[in-house]
Amino acid sequence: MSNDWGSVTTVAAHLAVATAQPVITLLGDANVTVEAATTYADAGATAVDALDGNLTTAIVLTGTVELNATGVRLLRYNVADAGGTAAVEKVRTVNVVDTTSPVITLLGDANATHVINTAWVDPGTTASDTLDGNLSNQVTISGTVDVNATGNYVLTYSVSDGA
């Protein structure tokens, strides 16, 4: 540096210029399928920058995985370095599915002996589903019991969940 009264020289200054963006790396798969009404633990991501180093703790994650309904959920990972240069966004797609069948529970024995010419009273059932909850009032019965004739009769109980 110099002016009318003289000049001053300093030691050489080194300036690092980083032009590369930070890089986000997803841990685990970019596309995940998870069963509804269970739990989901995201695998997360890491981020590094040539100048700032490890930026993993600075990652901003947006989106949530709602497990009480089926559908596609997007988790978005973003980060920027100290100079404000943003990484290319990474997105994890979480597909929430319902592949678990409902469960029917017979009330009473599965095999019953009944006295002829007396009214048949079905002991009933309960039905539940991990996602849809109590489905007992949606159980259908096929087959009949002819209380006026001896024989073997089969009653079939069925129920379906929303999926």
Q: State both tokens at 61.
A: 């994650």
Alpha-carbon Rg for the chain, nearest whole angstrom, is: 33
pLDDT for position 56: 98
* Full pLDDT tens readout for the chain, 163 residues: 678 888 878 787 765 666 799 999 999 999 999 999 999 999 999 999 999 999 999 999 999 999 999 999 999 999 999 999 999 999 999 999 999 999 999 999 999 999 999 999 999 999 999 999 999 999 999 999 999 999 999 999 999 999 9
CA dihedral 141, 142, 148, 153 (to 10 degrees): -110
- Is residue 18 classed exposed, middle or buried when 0-12, 13-18 and 19+ CB atoms within 10 A define those classes? middle
Please state the pTM of the whole predicted model.
0.77
Distances from the Cα of 33 to the Cα of 36, 41, 98, angstroms:
10, 12, 10
For residue 82, give the nearest of 109, 107, 53 by alpha carbon: 53
